[in-house]
Amino acid sequence: MRAVGIILAGGNSYKMKELTQKRAVAAMPIAGSYRAIDFALSNMSNSHIQKVAVLTQYNARSLNEHLNSSKWWDFGRKQGGLYVFTPTITADNGYWYRGTADAIYQNLDFLKRCHEPYVIITSGDAVYKMDYNKVLEYHIAKRADITIVCKELAPGEDASRFGTLKMNDTMRVEKFEEKPMVAKSNTISTGIYVIRRRHLIDMIEHCAEEDRHDFVTDILIRYKNLKKIYGYKIKDYWNSISTVDAYYRTNMDFLKPEVRNYFFKEQPDVYSKVSDLPPAKYNPGAVVKNSLIASGSIINGTVENSILFKKTFVGNNCVIKNSIILNDVYLGDNTYIENCIVESRNTIRANTRHVGEDGVKVVIEKNERYVL
């Protein structure tokens, strides 16, 4: 084994608005029956990285529940396995994770006890497929201290919510700006890093001594002239779900056949926790066009260009267009929903209308489902 994996899944994204009130961003449902962290975990498993630590913190209940068994990603093995670390109070530490570097620092014992020479750090909120071994080979060939996986954004896309970087001809990183107000470059960091384990331990310990807590600003940006930091460009699909709009767009991408085929019909596969549910049921009168309907759903109305997650009930004469309906939602009769994300376990009363006029609307209704 050449590398150990760390997935940073503890952050709270205020840009996700109400969607992260009861779950972590890494536990956001994607494409009908997956969660965001499944993509990072599947990539680790497919790259034969057998020891993976997931650092969780904010609203971790649903994420911990999702990770309660490691067998789905094939981590139930004698060597290695899946480790889930939440902040613990110890004799010399009484803090939550105060940043990404601090999260690694509080679990430094895990890294010190590993014997793998390299560490692959990734975030739990990105949707992509990648063989980390190729990045590792590149890292070794370049004799880099740190390798950052980066991607060229299409013109017109907003780069200011990412870290942007500029590289020279040899792909060495010369400039790195974290979430700039005005992005000067459209090459963004994807939040995937390869680094030597000993180096990482040294740098994290230095950070902690100086009371610094963030991996990007306190390690990458401060050390960029001291250490050899290289970029590794990817061309394949990659998307982060850090805002409501990005989450909506990423899910809607799965309605495109080429994206769907890339993730679900081509090797290597993406794995997730399996739930025992019957297949979706379409009653007479149901009209469904260009939509993803997850198992356990019952459809009576019209659904167009939408994604319905598990156990959704759509009543008679309902119309759902360009929307995302999360798990276990009950939509009463004659409901009209367009350009919305409906929060999970909601009950939408009959004859209700929700339309996202400017941008995507997040619908949360706390109605009683069963009235005696």
325 closest CA partner among 336, 302, 338, 309: 309
Please determine, for residue 77, whether its predicted confidence score (pLDDT) is greater than 90. Answer: no
Q: Could you identify the residue written with the tokens 């107000």?
A: 181
Mean pLDDT of the chain: 88
Task: Give the tens place of pLDDT for each residue, 159-208.
Answer: 888 888 888 888 888 888 888 788 788 889 998 999 999 988 988 888 88
Report the b/e string of 319-349 with b at 16+ CB within 10 A: bbbbbbbbbbbbbbebbbbbbbbbbbebbbe
Q: Among 77-91, 244-258, 260-274, name the one with the lowest average pLDDT.
A: 77-91
Going along the chain from its start, the domains and CATH numbers come out as 3-264 (3.90.550.10), 281-363 (2.160.10.10)
Beta bridge partners of 229: 146
Residue 118 CB-density burial (10 A; 0-12 exposed, 13-18 middle, 19+ buried): buried
Select the more confidently predicted residue: 325 or 78.
Answer: 325
Beta bridge partners of 336: 319, 353
Task: Give the tens place of pLDDT for each residue, 211-239.
Answer: 887 888 777 788 777 888 899 999 999 99
123: left (phi over 0), alpha (psi -120 to 50) or beta: beta
Task: Give the tens place of pLDDT for each residue, 137-161.
Answer: 999 999 989 999 999 888 878 788 8
Bond into 278 cis (ω within 30): no
Please determine, for residue 371, whether its predicted confidence score (pLDDT) is greater than 70. Answer: no
Q: Among 1-5, 17-21, 259-263, name the one with the lowest average pLDDT.
A: 17-21
Residue 219 is given by DSSP the state I
The runs of H, that is alpha helices, within 114-175 are 132-141
Which secondary-structure segment (H or E) carries 84? strand 81-85
| Cβ–Cβ < 8 Å for 111, 119 | yes
Q: Among 7-11, 45-49, 198-202, name the one with the lowest average pLDDT.
A: 7-11
Render 12-45 in DSSP notation, one character per residue. Answer: --GGGGGGGSSS-GGG-EETTTEEHHHHHHHHHH
pLDDT at position 372: 44
pLDDT at position 370: 65
**Region 57-66: what's the mean pLDDT?**
86
Task: Give the tens place of pLDDT for each residue, 91-135.
Answer: 777 677 788 888 888 888 888 998 999 999 999 889 999 999 999
302-304-307-311 Cα dihedral, nearest 10 degrees: 10
Task: Give the tens place of pLDDT for each residue, 262-307.
Answer: 999 988 999 999 889 999 999 999 999 999 999 999 999 999 999 9
pTM value? Answer: 0.92
Give CA separation, 371 vs 312, 343, 367, in Å.
Answer: 19, 21, 10
Cβ atoms within 10 Å, residue 146:
22
Q: Could you identify the residue written with the tokens 């899946």?
A: 82
Please determine, for residue 15, whether its predicted confidence score (pLDDT) is greater than 80. Answer: no
**Region 31-55: what's the mean pLDDT?**
91
